[in-house]
Structures are given as structure tokens and as C-alpha cells.
């Protein structure tokens, strides 16, 4: 969650957040068109108001390097709330489960069915996404980052009160008193 959209620095924070994600050595891209990205395509080099529509930035596509060293399709999605109180900007970094299944068959039908073994593959992937969230939060500030299955807008993320709960099914990235981003892993894996 990048913060309130009404903030006069919201557009700058959004652009900085996207550039922090896509400049990471754990991420390759971005591409505007999900059907035209890959080794023969040229990614956007710098994200700016000239390369994306700030009113409706939508998705950017690319590849995310997994803890195993494999690359999986991934992307970012920007959600700019218009009817909340306050209206918030969300910057989602995502790994489609179908893409993860291509490189790790343990993913299976997650989150459906038997999820008893999900921690084996999910914990390192969550920590990896937590590192990306830490880089973004450390670079641009914002409120917090949340790591988990479709977390933006969920009660845990949307109703967050500034305190990391002792029992949690999602990961949290927060800034400590020194301004350093810290990842707090889920305590429940499902």
C-alpha cells in the first residue's frame, strides 16, 4: 500500500515504486503488452508519466526470479482507489500460480485442495516477495507492504492499523523506528 491517493506526492510515489520494483535484479521487464514480452522484446527502461497512464496504470508484465534461480512470469498491477476513505494507491507485485506451477510442481492447485505441504514452496517465495516489498518500501516510503494470496483490499491489509499481528496468514513489510524496511513472515501457512 503506497498511501493515500489524495496526497500531492501520490503520482511521484507510484512512479518511484514501479521503478523500484522493475529495477530490482530479481525482476526483468517491464512490458506494457502481455502478449509481446520475452527475449526478443525490449522492456521499458524507465517508467514515467510518458510511458504509463497515471489515471489508470494497470498492469506491467515481465519475469520474476524465484529463490530456486528459476524465472517465472510475473508483473505489477496498480490499483488507484476512487471510492474509499481514504482513497489508497496499491502497487501489487504478483506471480501467477500457473506460472509458478510451470517451474515448481509442488504448487499444484494451491490455494485449493490440500494445502498441508504449501509451506515447503510458499515460505521461500513469500520471503522473496517480502524482499521486493522491502526494497520498494525502503525506496519510496508508503504505508506498508503485504505478502500473500491476493492480499490487496483484504480485511487484513485494508483494515491494517499499523501493528503487525502476532498471528497472521499474510506477510507484512513495515518500516522500523530507524526507517529500515523489515519483513514479518506469516505465522500460519495455508
pLDDT at residue 84, rounded to an integer: 67
Reported as a pLDDT band with limits 50, 70 and 90, residue 158 is low
pLDDT tens digits, one per residue of 39-52: 677 888 888 888 88
pTM for the complete prediction? Answer: 0.86
pLDDT band at residue 115 using 50, 70 and 90 as cut-offs? confident
pLDDT, one tens digit per residue, over 70-113 is 999 999 998 887 776 677 788 899 999 999 999 998 898 888 87
Domain boundaries along the sequence of the chain: 3-184
DSSP assignments along 71-104, one per residue: EEEEEEEEEE-SSSSS-EEEEEEE--HHHHHHH-
Say what the pLDDT of residue 113 is. Answer: 73
Flag whether pLDDT at 149 surpasses 80: yes
Query: What percentage of the chain has pLDDT greater than the value 90?
Result: 34
Per-residue pLDDT, 153: 67
Cα–Cα distance measured from residue 138 to residue 20, given in angstroms and rounded to the nearest whole number: 9
**Cβ pair 81, 4 in contact under 8 A:** no
Sheet strands side by side (includes 181-184): 145-147, 171-175, 181-184
Select from 52, 6, 25 the least CA-distant residue to 135: 25
Amino acid at each position: 500500500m503506497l498511501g493515500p491517493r489524495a496526497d500531492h506526492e501520490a503520482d511521484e510515489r507510484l512512479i518511484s515504486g514501479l521503478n523500484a520494483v522493475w529495477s530490482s535484479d530479481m525482476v526483468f521487464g517491464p512490458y506494457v503488452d502481455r502478449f509481446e514480452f520475452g527475449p526478443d522484446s525490449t522492456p521499458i527502461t524507465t517508467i514515467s508519466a510518458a510511458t504509463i497512464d497515471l489515471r489508470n496504470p494497470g498492469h506491467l508484465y515481465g519475469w520474476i526470479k524465484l529463490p530456486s534461480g528459476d524465472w517465472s512470469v510475473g508483473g505489477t498491477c496498480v490499483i488507484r482507489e476512487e471510492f474509499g476513505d481514504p482513497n489508497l494507491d496499491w502497487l501489487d507485485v504478483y506471480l501467477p500460480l500457473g506460472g509458478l506451477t510451470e517451474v515448481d510442481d509442488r504448487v499444484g492447485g494451491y490455494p485449493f485442495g490440500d494445502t498441508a505441504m504449501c509451506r515447503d514452496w510458499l515460505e521461500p517465495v513469500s520471503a522473496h516477495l517480502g524482499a521486493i516489498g522491502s526494497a520498494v518500501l525502503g525506496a519510496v516510503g508508503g504505508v506498508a507492504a503485504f505478502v500473500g494470496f491476493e492480499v490487496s483490499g483484504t480485511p487484513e491489509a485494508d483494515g491494517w492499523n499499523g501493528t503487525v499481528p502476532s498471528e497472521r496468514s499474510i506477510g507484512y513489510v513495515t518500516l522500523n523506528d530507524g526507517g529500515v524496511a523489515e519483513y514479518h513472515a506469516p505465522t500460519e501457512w495455508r
